Structure 1
Amino acid sequence: MTYVLRRLLVLVLLAVVPALSFAQTGRADRLSQLENAKIAYLTDKISLTQDQAQKFWPVYNDFTTKRRDLNRRMRQLRIASPEALTDQQIRENLTQALALRQQEVKLETDYFEKFQKVLSIRQVGQLYAAERDFTREVIKRVADRRGGRTPAPRTDD
């Protein structure tokens, strides 16, 4: 990827992410903008070639869809307050949560192997770091737009 194209992708990211908190568009539009910014950010950070990008993005999109589904199922288990459940229901929820965490580890292991078929091991490492960095940057920018307040800590973990 050329230097100019990489810089253009970063500029798109920097323009789109701050706008997310002010956008008057619907949730789906904001999520689409965020996904586009993430694509630009990851493409730049792991230095994808055009050939790699054509092979990588379908695999990565499949991975994120499956990971998102597992996370959604985990959140659903956390919704119920333990005080409102019987001991058996609590046991079932905890057993399901452990099973989902095992599925998540298996998913990550499977896709670690798939990513290595498309990317170098260095790029795979850069991918994981870039995902974390992107998430931190989005959270930081949202917090800055809210006047420096950080998001409330999650209590469902």
Structure 2
Amino acid sequence: MKKIFILLVIVFTSSFVNAQDRMDRDEKIKTLKIAFITDALNLSKTEAQKFWPVYNKFDEENHALREASYKKRKAVDVTTMSESEASKLLDDMQNSYNKRHQLFSNYMKDIRSILPAKKVIMLKQAEDNFKRKMFEEFKKRRHDKNDKP
């Protein structure tokens, strides 16, 4: 497992040395995340075949809901909005949260039919660990970039 992690870090580090467009970077991050989670959960081939389509669908739909909500909030100037516009925005935000909650509930039901409960918990830990490692790498790269003359 340590060898795979070291390999992931090397691949991740080398992938960002060359400045590439955002889509390439996003694809590389997604590939690293898949490898990281697969390794952390020790998924069997059968589990992986059932798990990844469900996981990817949830991830895409959740991202779309978050992004749509963010764009709505970002497009509004709070200082000039009326009370009725603010009320409508709050209703939209609540609706978005409800949709995300329902999406997550359905996802949990689907995932629990594929993986044992212990692996579902391990999945959350693996996602958190991956995000933390990504953030640490980002901070390191940002620090290294700022240190260069």
Distance 1:88 1:148 in 2: 48
Gaps of 5+ in 1: 1-5, 150-157
The verdict on how the C-alpha distance between 1:9 and 1:59 changes in structure 2, with shifts beyond 3 A counting, is: farther
The alignment status of 1:138 with 2:134, answered yes or no, reads: yes
Superposition CA RMSD, Å: 1.8
Deviates more, 1:75-84 or 1:88-97: 75-84
Distance 2:10 2:39 in 1: 15
Q: TM-score, normalised by structure 1?
A: 0.84
The alignment status of 1:147 with 2:125, answered yes or no, reads: no
The alignment status of 1:57 with 2:52, answered yes or no, reads: yes
Q: TM-score, normalised by structure 2?
A: 0.88
Distance 2:45 2:3 in 1: 15
Aligned to 1:97: 93
The percentage of counterpart residues that share the same residue type is 24
Distance 1:49 1:7 in 2: 19
Please point out which of 112, 124, 131 is paired with 1:128. 124
Helix, strand or coil for the counterpart of 1:24?
A: coil
Gaps of 5+ in 2: none
Deviation for aligned residue 1:95: 0.7
Query: Residues 1-157 of structure 1: matches in 2 within 5 Å?
Result: 6=1, 9-79=4-74, 80-147=76-143
The verdict on how the C-alpha distance between 1:128 and 1:100 changes in structure 2, with shifts beyond 3 A counting, is: same
Deviates more, 1:140-149 or 1:87-96: 140-149
Deviation for aligned residue 1:50: 0.8
- Cα deviation digits, residues 21-43 of structure 1 (max 9, x gap): 43311111000000000000000
What is the identity, as a one-letter code, of the residue corresponding to 1:97?
M
Deviation for aligned residue 1:18: 2.4
